[in-house]
Structures are given as C-alpha cells and as structure tokens.
Structure 1
C-alpha cells in the first residue's frame, strides 16, 4: 500500500487491492511521508472506504479538524456497537457519530447541557441501542476523562437506529419514528383509559411490530392488501380494539399523510387486543 496523498500527520489517502480509494488513519501515519512512499501498515488503526467522492470529502473535512483521540474512541464505539447489535451499520455512521461525539465533548467543556426530549421513549423502544449508548459514555470517560450525561446515550442510540436502517437518510427520521411510536401508544392508553404492562411479552412484541411498522411508513413500504374478509370478521370480534385502530389510522393520515392498508389495520388490531387484555 502506497501513500497517494497526505491529509495530515494521522491521515493519508491511498488505494486498496481492488483500486478503490481509501482513507487510512493511524497515529503518525502521515508524518514526513510523501506520495509514493510505502504505508507503515503496523501503524494503521482504521481504514475508511467511501462510497462516493462526496462522502470522502465530508470525512476528510471532519477528520482534519477533529482531535485524533475523539476519532479513535468513536471508532471503538462503532466496533462495539456492530458486535453488540449484530447488525451491519451504514458507513455514514463514521461521519455522523464522530461529528456528534466531538460536538458533545465540546459542549461539555463549555458547560452546555443538551436535553434529549425523547430520553424515556428511546429507553423503552430502543433498549439495546440505549445500552450501547451507555457503554459508549463509559468508553468516553475511560479514554478521555469526560463524563457526559445520560441524554447523550440516547442521542448515540438514535444515531445507531438511523445507521441500521439504510433507507432512512437522517437523524430526524429516527426521531420522528420514535415520536410516532410513542404517540400511537398514547392513543391506545387514552382510548382504553389504562396503563400498559411494559414488561409483558405482548407489549414487547407490539413494540417490535411498531418498529417495523414505523420503518415501513418512512420507507413507503406499507403492507399490501391481502385479507379483507378477515378484517370484516375482526371488526365484529374486536369492536373496541378496531375503533382504537381507526384513531391510529386518522393520526397517521393527519400527521404523515399515510393511508393504512387493511393488512396494517389487522395487525394493529390484533396487537392492541393482546396488550389491553386483562
């Protein structure tokens, strides 16, 4: 592997064996190096493969201005997240999360605390991602001596949710999905005038259903109509639960201009019956 361009002392541009442009990071990797020099492979800490020139320019601009130790701890967090979640994360996470963590540390140094309005919802709906976020805070503390508030674990969790759903294009989508899920649960609680057992297996299954439902809504991949006759039967058997589903349908139309299909109505009604059963 040869140096194509030196970005800074810790970052160089090169090509891999398939002749794809890559960014190679390592402490002192670019120090006193020139184009054509061999790369010291023993000093490589991370190799970034960018899908396009825009991503490459964004990453270079980010890595040029951010302290190396902030980049290093973010890379470790992403590696831990991939292993813990067992998911392939969109490569853009290296841009978005690095930028977020650097900014969070900067805010902390300046005494600026950013409250996450969705903290409790993220804990409930994305508990695994939130636990990864909590471990990320521990890693930042161990590596950098910076103690960030729990709200930041939730912000990190949202970045992971966004990166694990490739069709979503921004953090705002993950935030909207979380708000949508909470609002649907609020509609159910208000309709039945009850509190739901958040530790029941039926509630966990419903939350899982809502996650996939939210992803379908935001990627325009709503279930097709398949069993209209079954819905007619369900309306008679679960009248009150179906009326609640109609409220959710109205909410989805008003807030997201989304028309729920009969199949989506069936699944929602069945789940509502289960989670509201005494």
Structure 2
C-alpha cells in the first residue's frame, strides 16, 4: 500500500493519507529522512501506524510524537498492546495520555524529581488488574529503555 506524506514530524514519524483517504500517523526508522510532503512512501518501511478516530486526536498524537524518541513510543505501544490483551478495547486517547505520561515520568526520573502518588493505596485496591498491568509496564520500561521507574 502506498501512502502520501502530508506532514513530516521528524526522521522517524510522518503523517500520511492512505489509499482510502484516511489520515494516519506512521512510524519507522528513517521513514521521513530526506522526504517531502506530497511524496509517496511504501508501507514496507512502516513499523507502526496509528489511525485514530478523530482528526483532533491525530493532531495531538502527531505533536506528541514529533518530540519523542522512537524507542519510547515503541515501548508505550507495547504497553498499550498488553493492556488491550488484558482489558479489551481501549479508547483511542490512550495513545496520547499514556505516551505523554510515560515520557514525562521518564524525564522526571532522569532529573531526580520523584513525585509520590497519594492515591497509590486506593488504586491498588480499587483497580487491581490495572495496577498489576502498571507493574508489568514498569518492567517493560526497564527492559527496553533501561529506566527503573519507582512504583510510587
């Protein structure tokens, strides 16, 4: 499938229009390198694509991805896939909210800014499946990014 580039966010992330005229955000190593809007790309270089339900969400995701390392986004995508396996269908906005949350949690950790979670006890008891998933997400972040975020 060929896609036409509408916007280049960085070397690894571009916004495209597919053959069915749907706007998507696609990722892949170097997919936007030396490309220009209106050029066509082949889907073989695409590692991940996002077609969100609303134009507004696509715009917010595009903005977020333009400033995020590919490894962080790929890690968040793995966590979201795991969450979908365990919890079922999730809202499209999870791509924005979780990715943004992880990115800033990693930045705060790297700057030695630790924020306690005053709701930790409540979350553990009221949402045990989600809490367990969060613990697994911490392990995924550690293994993929080498960042050991605290439970807090």
Same fold judged by TM-score > 0.5? yes
User: Deviations along 1:135-167, whole A, 9 cap, x unmatched?
Assistant: 10000000111000112xxxxxxxxxxxxxxxx
Aligned pairs for 1:93-242 within 5 A: 93-151=94-152
Residue in 1 aligned with 2:33?
A: 31
Q: Structure 1 residue 14: deviation in Å?
A: 1.4
Q: In 2, distance between residues paired with 1:81 and 1:9? A: 28
Q: In 2, distance between residues paired with 1:136 and 1:47? A: 21
User: Deviations along 1:39-95, whole A, 9 cap, x unmatched?
Assistant: 24232122111333322221111111112211110011001110122x110011111
- For structure 2, the residue ranges without an aligned partner over 5 or more in a row are none
- TM-score norm. by structure 1 comes to 0.51
Q: Structure 1 residue 37: deviation in Å?
A: 3.5
Equivalent of residue 66 in structure 1, options 65, 68, 84: 68
Q: Does the Cα contact within 8 Å between 2:28 and 2:46 map onto a contact in 1?
A: yes
Residue in 1 aligned with 2:11?
A: 9
Q: Name which structure has the greater RCO, CA cutoff 8 Å, separation 6+.
A: 2
Let me know the Cα RMSD of the aligned residues.
Answer: 1.5
Q: In 1, distance between residues paired with 2:42 and 2:139? A: 31
- TM-score norm. by structure 2 comes to 0.91
Which structure has more strand as a fraction of its residues?
2
Aligned length: 150
Residue in 1 aligned with 2:56?
A: 54
Residue in 2 aligned with 1:215?
A: none
Secondary structure of 2:26's counterpart equals strand
- For structure 1, the residue ranges without an aligned partner over 5 or more in a row are 152-278
Q: In 2, distance between residues paired with 1:52 and 1:99? A: 18
Secondary structure of 2:66's counterpart equals helix
Runs of 4+ aligned residues of structure 1 deviating over 3 Å after TM superposition are: 35-38
Which structure has more helix as a fraction of its residues?
1
Q: In 2, distance between residues paired with 1:32 and 1:41? A: 17
Q: Does the Cα contact within 8 Å between 1:3 and 1:33 map onto a contact in 2?
A: no
Residue in 2 aligned with 1:76?
A: 78
